[in-house]
Amino acid sequence: MILTPQGLDKLQEAKSKAEFKEQCGNRYTLEALSGRTGLSVDTLMKLFAGDSPVDKQSLKCCFSAFNLVAGPSDYFWPELKIEESQSDAMQPAQDVEPEFPGGQVPLDSAFYMERSPLEASCHKTILQPGALIRIKAPRRMGKTSLTARILHQAEEHGYRTVPLSLQLADRDIFQDSNKFLHWFCANVSLGLQLPNQLEDYWDDIFGSKINCKLYFERYLLAATAQPMVLALDDVDRLFRYPDLADDFFGLLRAWHEEAKNREIWKRLRLVVVHSTEVYIPLHVNQSPFNVGLPIELPEFTSEQVQELALRHGLDWSIQQAEQLIALVGGHPYLLRVALYHFWSRDISLEQLLQTASTPPGIYNDHLQRQMWNLQQYPELATAFGQVVMASEPVELDLVQAFELQSMGLVHLQGSQATPSCELYRHYFCDRLI
């Protein structure tokens, strides 16, 4: 939605009254407005500028922060003329062309569904000295897209940012802690566009963890007074290497604790992203997974699916949204694939419900990739075969349960697993007998 002139005046008037009452007329900063509304600075800038759309929930949050209710005359769809907005506020957006789902949703995409208030908490936390945010969700649930928006928020405040995925590391890098920390420091230097100075700061007498700490403290963090946000994606790849994981995660926790006492370490903000529960033993005082802000991305609700359908030009009822959810759950990627094909008129909802798990179906490539992933680990394939064949939750080995959860294939209650959606049950039932 975009505010109409009437809606903008209404909001500005309420904001001015609050500023006069609470701050003797001094205007709120964007950071203060972010704290009051629970919205990111970027979203607030779009909303007040009136030239970029924001989702309806964000608009409602901003209005309710000033004890207002957003009425149909206060906003309009970007494709409509303002004078049509009151009568046609729910008209679907026909002219915005969605991108085909895959990887990160672009920062300027109208099809990114913000999860309030989780995202607002992330944007607020990353501005705190020594912040640590932990994002957990199965694959293709939106972790990378959310991380990109956190980094964008930090960049808007002049912070240095470094996204680093551990998927980029060759397998042999994980065999030795010293080699891994060399790789890690070199890549952070590269991300900051700083020369590699490892030879000047690495002394074997101190050991790799001390050397890594000194490299950050005396070089990377000392290079400028600007805070640095380091976003580490796919950290669960380390879970298969317990000794290395113990060293590296203990190092991250130590850096987080240093920020409580030393100014130099307050400049470092960490975002740690993983797809599964931490199933390796870590000392409670040496783990970064029990401190900081925990974020677990939820599946989309039927209301969110209905709104996302509207952004694809589909005037859906809540019942249609629930039909799609009954097939693929609230999984963002699976939902967006379906909505993209509905938008392009390749298939109807009725046809999808009949063909989704068959070779001609729109999910065939995705389902084949999931099958290939399972075939790499026969014990996982066997375990998931038990899950899809059962009418009741199945008790699994804990590590297998977490691995299947990270792939997005199961929902867990403790170590009991059920298929995450009917699409997977139908497709894998015959193939994994």
Span 352-411, pLDDT tens digits? 999 999 988 999 999 999 999 999 999 999 999 999 999 999 999 999 999 999 999 999
DSSP string, 72-132: GGGEE-TTS-GGGTTTSTT----SPPPPPP-SSPPTT-TT----TTHHHHHHHHTTSTT-E
Which of 305, 267, 419 lies closest to 357, judged by CA? 419
Instruction: Look up residue 276 and give its two tokens.
Output: 């599964």
Based on the fold, state whether residues 190 and 156 are members of the same structural domain.
yes
Boundaries of domain holding 335: 302-349
CA dist., res. 10 & res. 386, Å (int): 58
Based on the fold, state whether residues 386 and 312 are members of the same structural domain.
no
Based on the fold, state whether residues 278 and 184 are members of the same structural domain.
yes
Based on the fold, state whether residues 47 and 32 are members of the same structural domain.
yes
Which of 316, 298, 299 lies closest to 307, judged by CA? 316
Give residue 128's pLDDT: 95
Residue 92 maps to a domain: no
The per-residue pLDDT for range 283-326, each reduced to its tens digit, is 888 899 999 999 999 999 999 999 999 999 999 999 999 999 99
Give residue 51's pLDDT: 65
Highest mean pLDDT among 38-52, 130-144, 271-285: 130-144
Q: Of how many residues is the chain composed?
A: 433
Q: Band of the pLDDT at 55, cuts 50, 70, 90?
A: confident
* φ, ψ dihedrals at 196, nearest 5°: -70, 115
Residue 194 maps to a domain: yes
Q: How far is CA 364 from CA 100, 342, 356, 410, 430, in A?
A: 15, 16, 8, 19, 15
Last residue of a domain, one of 68, 84, 100: 84
CATH at residue 165: 3.40.50.300
DSSP string, 340-363: HHHHTTS--HHHHHHHTTSTTSTT
Which of 213, 219, 284 lies closest to 248, judged by CA? 213
Task: Please state the domain count of the chain.
Answer: 4
CA dist., res. 250 & res. 256, Å (int): 10
Range 38-51 average pLDDT: 75
- Rounded (5°) CA angle 300-301-307: 90
Q: Packing angle between helix 242-258 and helix 208-215, nearest 10 degrees? A: 40
pLDDT at 255 over 50: yes
Give how far the C-alpha of residue 116 lies from the chain's centroid of Cα atoms, to the nearest Å.
12
Based on the fold, state whether residues 232 and 166 are members of the same structural domain.
yes
Residue 356 maps to a domain: no
CATH at residue 47: 1.10.260.40
Three-state DSSP state, 197: coil
Mean pLDDT over each residue of the chain, to the nearest integer: 89
Give residue 95's pLDDT: 59
Instruction: Look up residue 53 and give its two tokens.
Output: 């759309």
Based on the fold, state whether residues 171 and 132 are members of the same structural domain.
yes
CA dist., res. 361 & res. 331, Å (int): 17
List the single range of 96-100, 192-196, 211-215, 356-360 with lowest mean pLDDT.
96-100
Of all helices (H) and strands (E), which one includes residue 398?
helix 398-406
Pairing of strands 416-419, 394-395: antiparallel
The per-residue pLDDT for range 342-360, each reduced to its tens digit, is 999 989 999 999 999 998 8
Based on the fold, state whether residues 256 and 317 are members of the same structural domain.
no
Residue 203 maps to a domain: yes
Residue 55 maps to a domain: yes
pLDDT at 14 over 60: yes
Instruction: Look up residue 181 and give its two tokens.
Output: 């920390």
Residue 102 maps to a domain: no
Q: Give the list of residues 6+ apart from residue 254 with CB closer than 8 angstroms, or none.
A: 213, 286
List the single range of 55-69, 96-110, 126-140 with lowest mean pLDDT.
55-69
- Alpha-carbon dihedral sign for residues 299, 305, 309, 310: negative
Q: Is 84 within 8 Å of 140 (Cβ atoms)?
A: no
Q: Is 75 within 8 Å of 9 (Cβ atoms)?
A: no
Q: Is 126 within 8 Å of 269 (Cβ atoms)?
A: yes
Three-state DSSP state, 312: coil
Residue 64 maps to a domain: yes
CA dist., res. 280 & res. 237, Å (int): 12
Look at 275 and 430; give whichever has higher pLDDT: 275
Based on the fold, state whether residues 138 and 48 are members of the same structural domain.
no
Based on the fold, state whether residues 229 and 321 are members of the same structural domain.
no
Look at 190 and 69; give whichever has higher pLDDT: 190
pLDDT at 72 over 60: yes
Amino acid at 155: E
CA dist., res. 350 & res. 344, Å (int): 15
Based on the fold, state whether residues 389 and 325 are members of the same structural domain.
no
Based on the fold, state whether residues 194 and 329 are members of the same structural domain.
no
Based on the fold, state whether residues 56 and 172 are members of the same structural domain.
no
Residue 411 maps to a domain: yes
Look at 328 and 286; give whichever has higher pLDDT: 328
| Percent of the chain predicted with pLDDT > 70 | 95
